[in-house]
Amino acid sequence: MTRTNDTTERIMRFIRDYVVKEGIPPTVREIKEGCALSSTSLVAHHLDKL
């Protein structure tokens, strides 16, 4: 699996776990922080792939 796919998978797992725990989806900023990504635009790029 490529790094891009790994990151996308990590984001998917983070969103799933967050929704289970909190009952609502995370914000882009929460995804950025929770997945240790460098920018919200990078999160948006990966969300577009989903």
pLDDT attached to residue 5? 87
pLDDT at 9 over 90: yes
Q: Which residue has the higher pLDDT, 2 or 26?
A: 26
The alpha carbon dihedral of 19, 24, 25, 31 has a sign of: negative
Q: Give yes or no for a contact between 43 and 31, defined as CB atoms under 8 angstroms apart.
A: yes
pLDDT attached to residue 3? 64
pLDDT attached to residue 44? 96
Q: Domain residues for 16?
A: 3-49
Q: In the chain, count H helices and then E strands.
A: 3, 0
Q: What is the pTM assigned to this prediction?
A: 0.87
For 13-47, what is each residue's pLDDT tens digit?
999 999 999 999 999 999 999 999 999 999 999 99
